[in-house]
Amino acid sequence: MSKVILMIDDDRSERGLFEEAIKKVGSDITCYLAEGGKEALEIMSNKDNILPKVIFLDINMPEMSGWVLLKNLKENETYKDIPVIMYSTSSYQRDIDMAMQFGAVSFCVKPENFKILIKIVDFISNNLDGDLPNAIRQNNEGIDNFKGGTKAV
């Protein structure tokens, strides 16, 4: 069974970089890319698709912000247990705190370096079948992009 990751970001280049990082990490990963919240919900509600094991979610998107989508996911019985990592250029403590309050397992600042993105994707992929929140909390890889602790799923 493939590892399924959903990445939601309105920036086409960010989605492209993420997809390239997934390809570098491994062929056992299926990555769905969504431009926004509505498209993400359509992808997840498609009966043919298996639910993602983790969602990377951007904050600032038109139509439905990442905050609104995160709250909707955590209030939905079908999606509430899927770990969500807020994925943003922001490193404001206010945003990190809000992500944790709304139920994200972590907050990841978008890396400025493609090699770090590969390291992040590889780390997450290697921990999808275990206790992802605990792996992020321990962060033995020393990835500085994870901020704000984690909440248990």
Quote the pLDDT of residue 149.
59
Phi and psi at 32, nearest 5°, equal: -100, 140
pTM of the model: 0.92
Amino acid at 118: I
How does pLDDT run across 79-114, given as a tens digit for each residue? Answer: 999 999 999 999 899 999 999 999 999 999 999 899
Mind giving me the DSSP string for 94-107?
HHHHHHHHHT-SEE
The 10 Å Cβ neighbour count of residue 130 is: 9
Quote the pLDDT of residue 151.
47
How does pLDDT run across 29-64, given as a tens digit for each residue? Answer: 999 999 999 999 999 998 676 799 999 999 999 889
**Domain chopping of the chain, boundaries:** 3-147
**Residue 152 in this model has a pLDDT that exceeds 50:** no
Q: How confident is the model at residue 130 (pLDDT cuts 50, 70, 90)?
A: confident
3-147 folds as Rossmann fold (3.40.50)
Assigned token pair, 54: 């983790």
